């Protein structure tokens, strides 16, 4: 599979990044799964890439592809992104146990573990790395910056701010992927629509996650523009999450949690405190809403993973990651957890329920 790196095309495919959810803006985180190395699936070629596909036709029919996958922590959104990635590869003809080997590793929310995993991937000679979530992507990019191994990322909030790429339109490094930056102003508007009399909003996130800080700042600006008094509270790690939530109880009418790996992995704790104190919770991610939030406009992480698989196939077919634009999802749907809303004393207006694409 190392052969495909020697035939990377030099033609830049300058294209606009897919629009962010609901807007026209450019794209603005379990252990072990590994399989045997046998071959067999047909080459995934497209008419649009016929020349590149022809040059790299041996990719899907010759030597197996070896991918190292590093997921920063375990929670539903990141799991879904990984599942979607594998499904997308299979749709393109790359099947584990036939022409695809996947070494999946979970860093359990620890950056030093993430670095160690990436070092292991580097020594094992993987053909491509998939990094799921911003901290994992940063470790992968740092580790493989002096190699010709392409790095893909998914479930990253802001690839430019995280210094993964030079720009979303032209990454400039042997790195590309998909981002999960929602239109946060829309998510804050959902809070106002459901709780029109709410005056005080708490914004909670993990201070060590750069992706969360970016979203929190945007959420604060959007909330203040809608007239909310904002209280920001942070946890430095998952051990402080309970204390962080408790610190705002009685001082806010609702809380908003961005796409934050620490809080996402502790939604059981969030749920318990919210119900006990009748505190409405709104989150940025569907999986978090499902576990203990009221509503949001959400990205589908399974589909985001499938998008990332399409980028992987383009790389296998000869394109350089450096010229494949970073992508986001075009559409976000309203997701509502009516059951949780009722458990914290909130009645969701019928006109909002009627707009929801998913109701739990």
207 in a structural domain = yes
Residues sharing a CB contact under 8 Å with residue 185, sequence separation 6 or more, in sequence order: 218, 222, 225
Q: Is the pLDDT of residue 121 over 70?
A: yes
Do 200 and 115 share a structural domain? no
Q: Is the pLDDT of residue 131 over 90?
A: yes
Do 75 and 111 share a structural domain? yes
pLDDT at 56: 35
DSSP 87: H
Do 287 and 316 share a structural domain? no
Do 269 and 161 share a structural domain? no
Instruction: Summarize the confidence of residues 223-246 as an average pLDDT.
Output: 97
Do 164 and 116 share a structural domain? yes
Question: What values do phi and psi take at 230, rounded to 5?
Answer: -105, 135
* pTM, two decimal places: 0.71
Residues sharing a CB contact under 8 Å with residue 253, sequence separation 6 or more, in sequence order: 195, 197, 198, 199, 200, 201, 280
Residues sharing a CB contact under 8 Å with residue 212, sequence separation 6 or more, in sequence order: 157, 205, 206, 258, 259, 260, 261, 262
What sign does the CA torsion over 168, 166, 217, 249 have? Answer: positive
Do 224 and 171 share a structural domain? no
Predicted confidence band of residue 60 (pLDDT cuts 50, 70, 90): low
167 in a structural domain = yes
pLDDT at 47: 35
Number of domains in the chain: 2
pLDDT at 346: 98
Q: Give the C-alpha separation, 211 to 136, whole Å.
A: 12
309 in a structural domain = yes
Do 340 and 198 share a structural domain? yes
328 in a structural domain = no
Q: Give the C-alpha separation, 277 to 266, whole Å.
A: 17
Residue 266 is part of a domain; what is its CATH number? Answer: 3.40.50.2300
Are the beta carbons of 175 and 199 closer than 8 angstroms? no
279 in a structural domain = yes
Q: Is the pLDDT of residue 51 over 80?
A: no
Domain that includes residue 104, residue range: 2-181+300-323
Question: What values do phi and psi take at 279, rounded to 5?
Answer: -110, 115
What sign does the CA torsion over 237, 177, 30, 105 have? Answer: negative
Do 72 and 55 share a structural domain? yes
128 in a structural domain = yes
Structure confidence by residue, pLDDT tens digits, 292-304: 999 999 888 999 9
Do 52 and 90 share a structural domain? yes
pLDDT at 21: 56
Do 348 and 306 share a structural domain? no
When comparing pLDDT for 20 and 286, which is higher?
A: 286
- State the DSSP H helix or E strand holding residue 351, giving kind and residue range, or none if neither: helix 350-353
Task: Give me 22's structure tokens.
Answer: 């609901």
In this structure, the dihedral spanned by the alpha carbons of residues 221, 299, 238 and 29, taken in order and rounded to 10 degrees, is -110
Do 103 and 128 share a structural domain? yes
Q: Give the C-alpha separation, 176 to 131, whole Å.
A: 10
Q: Is the pLDDT of residue 50 over 90?
A: no
The CA-to-CA distance between both ends of the chain, in Å, stands at 44
Do 67 and 206 share a structural domain? no
53 in a structural domain = yes
């Amino acid at each position: 599979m190392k052969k495909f790196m020697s035939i990377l095309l030099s033609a830049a495919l300058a294209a606009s990044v897919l629009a962010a959810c609901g807007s026209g803006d450019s794209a603005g985180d379990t252990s072990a799964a590994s399989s045997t190395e046998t071959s067999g699936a047909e080459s995934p070629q497209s008419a649009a890439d016929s020349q590149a596909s022809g040059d790299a036709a041996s990719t899907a029919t010759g030597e197996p592809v070896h991918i190292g996958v590093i997921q920063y922590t375990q929670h539903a959104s990141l799991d879904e992104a990984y599942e979607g990635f594998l499904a997308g590869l299979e749709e393109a003809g790359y099947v584990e146990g036939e022409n695809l080997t996947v070494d999946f590793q979970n860093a359990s929310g620890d950056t030093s573990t993430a670095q160690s995993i990436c070092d292991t991937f580097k020594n094992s000679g993987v053909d491509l790395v998939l990094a799921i979530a911003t901290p994992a992507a940063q470790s992968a990019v740092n580790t493989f910056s002096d190699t010709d191994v392409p790095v893909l990322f998914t479930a990253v909030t802001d690839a430019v701010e995280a210094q993964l790429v030079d720009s979303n339109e032209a990454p400039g490094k042997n790195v590309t992927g998909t981002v999960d930056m929602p239109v946060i102003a829309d998510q804050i508007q959902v809070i106002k629509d459901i709780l029109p009399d709410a005056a005080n909003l708490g914004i909670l996130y993990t201070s060590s996650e750069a992706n969360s800080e970016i979203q929190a700042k945007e959420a604060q600006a959007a909330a203040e523009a809608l007239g909310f008094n904002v209280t920001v509270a942070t946890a430095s790690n998952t051990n402080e999450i309970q204390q962080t939530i408790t610190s705002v109880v009685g001082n806010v009418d609702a809380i908003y949690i961005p796409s934050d790996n620490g809080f996402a992995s502790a939604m059981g704790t969030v749920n318990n405190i919210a119900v006990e104190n009748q505190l409405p919770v709104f989150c940025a991610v569907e999986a978090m809403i499902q576990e203990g939030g009221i509503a949001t406009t959400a990205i589908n992480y399974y589909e985001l993973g499938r998008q990332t698989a399409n980028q992987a196939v383009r790389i296998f077919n000869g394109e350089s990651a450096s010229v494949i634009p970073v992508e986001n999802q075009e559409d976000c749907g309203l997701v509502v957890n009516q059951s949780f809303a009722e458990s914290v004393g909130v009645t969701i207006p019928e006109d909002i329920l009627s707009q929801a694409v998913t109701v739990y």
